[in-house]
Amino acid sequence: MIEAVVTDFGGVLTTPLTQAFAAIQNEAGIPLDALGRALGALAERHGVNPLFELETGRLTESEFMEGLRGALRDQLGRKIEIHRFGERYFHHLQPNQELIDYMRGLRERGYRMALLTNNVREWEPLWRAMLPVDEIFELVVDSAFVGMRKPEPGIYELTLKRLGLPAPACLFLDDVELNCSAAAALGMSAVHFRHNDQAVAEVEHRLAEGGRPRPGSDQLSEPSRSQR
């Protein structure tokens, strides 16, 4: 019986992340292939993907941007300035209001709600301002505050532990197929988000298969702040 729905943030409750990144690239005049080479060079130099380090809080936004600017300068032969990256990124990212309203409706129907996001520590005020987090979700697990990121099994296990539920009692929704596969490998029911109609239909099908949550005040308790 499915009792909880765990959803991703970016790309599910927002417009596609690629659109926001593309807009910033265009504004800064950075070719996509040059950005890929710059990130690859940083990963080779430090032995770890800098994006992963950023999303697990082991690298600050300023440290990441300093390294990226240097790597882009090496690739393009010119100085690159990307000021206020986080603010500009979220300026191009819009709420997916239809899915946000759907998540609110699931909570009203008695499902426990959790948000599991790969994110950047310094961006927390920006993404929280985009949706009524505490109105809908009783639990937020943010990679930047727990030192793990999807698709690492540990971050799913932490989410399940904080919900106090076994994997089969949870449905997971994400726009990255690899993240869905990792959740399914642990026993969660996983839905790969591609667009609103498809995702809602699949979620409803899985919830119908899994039955309805048991009635009880514990499932309708007031949401709490992030548990880090």
Q: What CA–CA distance (Å, rounded) separates 171 from 156?
A: 12
Please state, as a whole number, how many other Cβ atoms lie within 10 Å of the Cβ of residue 36: 11
User: For the domain 4-16+94-220, what is the CATH superfamily, name and number?
Assistant: HAD superfamily/HAD-like (3.40.50.1000)
- Give the pTM: 0.87
Report residue 143 as tokens.
């990679």
Q: Does residue 74 contact residue 37 with C-beta atoms inside 8 Å?
A: no
Tens of pLDDT, residue by residue over 87-122, are 888 988 999 999 999 999 999 999 999 999 999 999
Please state, as a whole number, how many other Cβ atoms lie within 10 Å of the Cβ of residue 23: 15
Q: Does residue 76 contact residue 34 with C-beta atoms inside 8 Å?
A: yes
The predicted pLDDT at position 141 comes to: 98
Low-confidence ranges of the chain (pLDDT < 70): 211-228
The predicted pLDDT at position 85 comes to: 81
The predicted pLDDT at position 213 comes to: 52
